[in-house]
Amino acid sequence: MSSTSASASAPSALSAAAANDRIRALVDAADGTWPAEAYEVLLLEWAEALHNGMDEAA
């Protein structure tokens, strides 16, 4: 039970800034093709990191 409470209170492993950097790198690396699935995954990670950051601030 302690591992569950510890993981719930631990900060997000992926910060919004880190997720944003990964999105920028993906866009920069797009070489004429758009990696839609990878972009969608990164956007979801970014949104989750933002949400987690808002929870921690509250």
Do residues 44 and 19 make contact, with C-beta atoms less than 8 angstroms apart? no
Against a cut of 0.75, is the pTM above it?
no
Sign of the C-alpha dihedral, residues 50, 7, 4, 58? negative
For residue 57, give both structure tokens.
Answer: 């601030």
DSSP state, residue 13: S
pLDDT lower than 50: segments of the chain? 1-11
Q: What is the reported pLDDT for 57?
A: 56
Q: How far apart are CA 40 and CA 42, in angstroms?
A: 5
What is the rounded distance in angstroms from the CA atom of residue 58 to the CA atom of residue 53? Answer: 9
